[in-house]
């Protein structure tokens, strides 16, 4: 297990900048120089102020080495190392101390990777990061003046042609509302033969992307709006989509019409606006006319009527005049003024005619109106007279019948009474029959009403269920999208992470170690329980032994006073007991001694690992070297 | 990537082997990308390979294909997104590959040219001016000022911006430019 730890330590030390040879696999193989270099490099990373004052190579002189060792120890203690440390740790190292020192230093090394991995997800954060990456990339390329630019700089440094975002409406070879089979033939033919492809339709090629994108987005948003409206209001109204749409259209048209009418009302303070308001009124009439279906053409305004009349007369007049002019033309070589005068005379004559005709028409129109009014009156009178005629005839009939019945009064009276009674009885009978019919029909009516209301409640419940399902669908779609984008983002992050030390090896190792520890714990518990059992057995056996001995002792002693052989057996018993106790004692002592042996062996191993002997030899040598240096320095001082 | 219904319908027709066999599909892809790249006019769909297809359907597919291409370039979609969109409308694999390979053409320049950018500064010249009023007046104005001329370039056409400023104003301008540079650096780090 120590190899794993050493491998991780060596790797981290290499990352901190120490130059460790390839064949150094464990901390045991570290020489003093390597130790000093590693410690100094780590300190430089952890705390640059502290580490920069120390050199990372062991100086040759002994006193210098001693000083370096002291300063290193001090620095490590400043950084926070709690164990025992001094110059001896570096110059006369032993494995466990070095290992713990390195583990402490490697822990202290700052972790750069931790910051980069906790980055928030989310679309805006992603966008920010993409923007930052682009800016970084672009600013890392040095700026060149225009004459020196290569084509790769063209994208980032010189600005190409710029067009503003100008979207033009496109004419599409399909309709969103009507299926293509129901389009009239002319439209289909236009689409097939004359419609330009969409990329050729905008006036500038640069507007093509803008127009296409705008068109697409408007279609998308229209469908989205329709869906949200349908899911919220449309389903509640329980109509089919077409009915809902047509109702909405009619509602909107009515509102527009009302607004326009209100705006077009001639206000009392404006005088000169009559012309525009009458036009607006005609426009509104045409709105209303469209819904009642095609009366527009039959109505027509006064202008068209006058037009019709004048132009029906005109062709005949024109023909006549043309004939007259044609006949007049070849015979006249008159001058221009005469021609003009002639034309003006003709013009005035025609205008007079026009005026006469219009006056005539007005008179005739007035006459027609009067006559229609009188016709109406007369037909009304006729109807009234017919009605009163009918009534009078009825009364005459009845009077005649009564007169016929008069001669035979009594019989007729009786007969009449009988008739009256019979008819009243019939009425009662009919009423009862009606009652009989009415009751089941009313029950049926009530039953159907209940059924209807049940169905309504069912359908509203189902509607709410559908709404819930829609919401759930939307939510899960959003979650799925979010998770997909998160997955993609994490995938890209994972690819950019460094792969030199594999995490999976670490985690497997950790899991193995945890498993081992668990097994060991189980074994320890087993051993402990075994030990407890054994101890219990020993205790019970000792107890039994003591009791047995006490009983036997008493028994034999009682008899020993009388019999000689019993006294001998008593002595043997006592001796046996004593020997066995000694035996047991010896065994226990052996066990203790074996434990002590094991402990001592462990201590020997650790002490051997400390390389104390070699260290002592080195210390002796260094001591000798220091003494020599001291004497040399003293000699130098004495000389000069 | 969200697509409207008409675009999806057009792409479905494009995927149908009865309407577009493989050869006409390849031709159509080239034609569609070309029509976006440069302005060819009405004859873009007059390729002999495509004559046997009903022109209305062809125009519908052309609209759908160009819209799809532009949406893909706009969102900088990677191969997986485009392939999944095309497979949703039942494109066969080789058609997906053909379509995606044409995507490698750089249509970004077409979209990035839809842009308004202020002119770029390429060069700067300056002259020092000193204003001196004679001793006859009470106030002496000994003040230097700078006449600065910036050469700018926009879409290949160069022009100049000339202005004059005092030293304080010039320091202010330089300070603001440094602030701008710093905030740009900060933006790269966050």
Q: Give A52-80 as a 3 state SS string.
A: CCCCCCCCCCHHHHHHHHHHHHHHHHHHC
What percentage of chain A's residues is helix, strand, coil (to nearest 5)? 80, 0, 20
Determine the Cα angle at A466 with ends A465 and A472, to 5°.
90
Q: Cβ contact (<8 Å) for B67 and A205?
A: no
pLDDT, one tens digit per residue, over B163-188 is 988 889 999 999 999 999 999 888 88
pLDDT, one tens digit per residue, over A338-393 is 889 999 999 999 999 999 999 999 999 999 999 999 999 999 999 999 999 999 99
Among candidates A76, A124, A130, A132, which has minimal Cα distance to A104? A76
pLDDT of amino acid B39: 65
C-alpha–C-alpha distance, residues A291 and A297, integer Å: 14
Chain A stretch 214-233, residues whose beta carbon is closer than 8 A to a beta carbon of chain B: 215-216, 219-220, 223
Query: Residue A302 pLDDT more than 60?
Result: no
If one counts every other C-beta atom within 10 angstroms of the C-beta of residue A9, the result is 21
| DSSP letter, residue A192 | I
Q: Cβ contact (<8 Å) for B111 and A192?
A: no
C-alpha–C-alpha distance, residues A452 and A460, integer Å: 12
Average predicted confidence (pLDDT) for chain A:
82
Strands of B143-154's sheet in order across = B120-131, B143-154, B157-166
Residue of A nearest to B4 (CA): A220
| Mutant choice from A162, A175, A182, A222 vs B, greatest count of B C-beta within 10 A | A162
Q: What is the pTM of this model?
A: 0.51
Domain boundaries, chain A: 2-142, 180-238, 347-396, 519-609
Determine the Cα angle at B78 with ends B73 and B80, to 5°.
130
| Mutant choice from B1, B4, B79, B123 vs A, greatest count of A C-beta within 10 A | B4
Chain A residues with CB under 8 Å of B184 CB are 135, 139
pLDDT, one tens digit per residue, over A98-139 is 888 888 888 877 765 444 445 556 678 878 888 888 888 888
Q: Cβ contact (<8 Å) for A162 and B155?
A: yes
Task: Read off the pLDDT band of A417 (50, 70, 90).
Answer: very high
Q: What is the mean pLDDT of residues A66-91?
A: 83
C-alpha–C-alpha distance, residues B3 and B85, integer Å: 9
Q: Cβ contact (<8 Å) for A219 and B36?
A: no
If one counts every other C-beta atom within 10 angstroms of the C-beta of residue A88, the result is 15
C-alpha–C-alpha distance, residues A212 and B68, integer Å: 10
Query: Residue A306 pLDDT more than 60?
Result: no
* A79–chain B nearest CA distance, Å: 30
Query: Residue A230 pLDDT more than 80?
Result: yes
For chain A, the maximum distance between any two Cα atoms, rounded to a whole number of angstroms, is 201
190 residues of chain B, pLDDT tens digit each: 788 888 888 888 888 888 888 888 888 888 888 887 776 666 667 777 777 878 888 888 888 888 888 888 888 778 888 888 888 888 888 888 888 888 776 667 667 767 667 778 888 899 998 887 766 666 667 788 889 898 888 777 788 889 988 889 999 999 999 999 999 888 887 6
| Mutant choice from B42, B72, B153 vs A, greatest count of A C-beta within 10 A | B42
């Amino acid at each position: 297990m120590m190899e794993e730890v050493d491998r991780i330590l060596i790797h981290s030390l290499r990352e901190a900048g120490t130059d460790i040879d390839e064949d150094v696999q464990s901390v045991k193989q570290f020489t003093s120089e390597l130790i000093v270099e590693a410690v100094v490099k780590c300190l430089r990373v952890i705390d640059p102020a502290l580490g920069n004052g120390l050199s990372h190579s062991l100086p040759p002189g002994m006193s210098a080495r001693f000083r370096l060792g002291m300063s290193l120890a001090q620095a490590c203690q400043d950084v926070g190392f709690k164990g025992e440390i001094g110059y001896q740790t570096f110059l006369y190292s032993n494995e466990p101390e070095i290992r713990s020192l390195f583990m402490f230093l490697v822990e202290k090394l700052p972790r750069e990777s931790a910051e980069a991995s906790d980055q928030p997800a989310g679309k805006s954060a992603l966008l920010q990061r993409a923007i930052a990456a682009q800016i970084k990339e672009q600013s890392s390329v040095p700026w060149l003046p225009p004459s020196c630019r290569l084509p790769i700089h063209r994208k980032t440094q010189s600005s190409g042609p710029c067009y503003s975002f100008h979207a033009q409406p496109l004419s599409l070879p399909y309709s969103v509302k009507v299926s293509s089979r129901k389009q009239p033939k002319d439209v289909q033919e236009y689409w097939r033969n004359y419609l330009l492809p969409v990329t050729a339709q905008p006036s500038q090629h640069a507007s093509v992307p803008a127009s296409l994108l705008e068109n697409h987005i408007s279609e998308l948003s229209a469908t989205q709006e329709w869906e949200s409206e349908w899911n919220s209001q449309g389903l509640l109204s329980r109509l089919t989509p077409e009915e809902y749409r047509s109702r909405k259209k009619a509602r909107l048209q009515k509102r527009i019409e009302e607004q326009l009418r209100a705006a077009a009302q001639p206000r009392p303070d404006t005088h000169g606006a009559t012309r525009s308001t009458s036009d607006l009124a005609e426009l509104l009439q045409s709105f209303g006319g469209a819904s009642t279906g095609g009366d527009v053409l039959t109505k027509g305004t006064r202008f068209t009527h006058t037009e019709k009349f004048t132009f029906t007369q005109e062709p005949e007049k024109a023909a006549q005049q043309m004939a007259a002019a044609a006949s007049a033309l070849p015979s006249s070589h008159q001058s221009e003024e005469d021609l003009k005068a002639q034309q003006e005379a003709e013009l005035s004559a025609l205008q007079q005619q026009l005026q006469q005709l219009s006056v005539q028409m007005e008179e005739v129109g007035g006459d027609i109106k009067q006559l229609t009014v009188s016709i109406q009156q007369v037909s009304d009178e006729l109807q009234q007279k017919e009605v009163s005629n009918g009534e009078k005839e009825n009364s005459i009939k009845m009077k005649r019948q009564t007169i016929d019945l008069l001669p035979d009064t009594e019989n007729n009276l009786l007969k009449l009474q009988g008739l009256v009674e019979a008819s009243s009885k019939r009425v009662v009978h009919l009423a009862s029959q009606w009652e009989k019919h009415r009751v089941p029909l009313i029950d049926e009516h009530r039953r159907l009403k209940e059924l209807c209301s049940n169905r309504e409640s069912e359908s509203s419940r189902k509607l709410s269920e559908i709404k819930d399902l829609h919401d759930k669908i939307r939510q899960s779609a959003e979650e799925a999208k979010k998770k997909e984008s998160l997955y993609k983002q994490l995938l890209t992050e994972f690819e950019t992470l460094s792969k030199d030390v594999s995490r999976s090896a670490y985690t497997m190792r950790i899991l193995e170690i945890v498993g081992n520890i668990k097994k060991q714990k189980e074994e320890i518990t087993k051993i402990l329980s075994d030990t407890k059992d054994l101890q219990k057995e020993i205790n019970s056996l000792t107890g039994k032994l003591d009791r047995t001995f006490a009983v036997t002792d008493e028994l034999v002693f009682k008899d020993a006073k009388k019999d000689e052989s019993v006294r001998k057996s008593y002595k043997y018993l006592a001796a046996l007991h004593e020997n066995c106790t000694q035996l047991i004692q010896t065994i226990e002592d052996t066990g203790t001694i074996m434990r002590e042996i094991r402990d001592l062996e462990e201590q020997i191993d650790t002490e051997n690992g400390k390389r104390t002997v070699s260290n002592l030899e080195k210390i002796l040598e260094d001591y000798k070297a220091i003494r020599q240096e001291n004497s040399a320095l003293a000699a130098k001082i004495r000389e000069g | 990537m969200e697509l409207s219904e008409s675009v999806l319908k057009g792409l479905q027709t494009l995927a149908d082997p009865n309407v577009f066999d493989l050869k006409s599909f390849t031709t159509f892809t080239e034609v569609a990308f070309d029509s976006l790249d440069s302005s060819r006019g009405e004859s873009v769909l007059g390729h002999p390979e495509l004559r046997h297809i009903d022109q209305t359907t062809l125009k519908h597919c052309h609209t759908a294909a160009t819209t799809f291409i532009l949406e893909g370039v706009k969102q900088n979609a990677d191969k997986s997104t485009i392939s999944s969109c095309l497979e949703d409308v039942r494109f066969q694999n080789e058609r997906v590959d053909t379509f995606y390979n044409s995507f490698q053409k750089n249509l970004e320049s077409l979209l990035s040219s839809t842009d308004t950018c202020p002119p770029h500064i390429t060069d700067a010249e300056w002259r020092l001016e000193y204003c001196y009023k004679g001793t006859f007046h009470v106030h002496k104005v000994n003040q230097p000022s700078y006449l600065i001329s910036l050469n700018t370039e926009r879409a290949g056409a160069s022009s100049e911006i000339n202005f004059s400023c005092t030293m304080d104003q010039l320091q202010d301008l330089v300070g603001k430019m440094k602030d701008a540079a710093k905030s740009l650096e900060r933006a790269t780090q966050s």
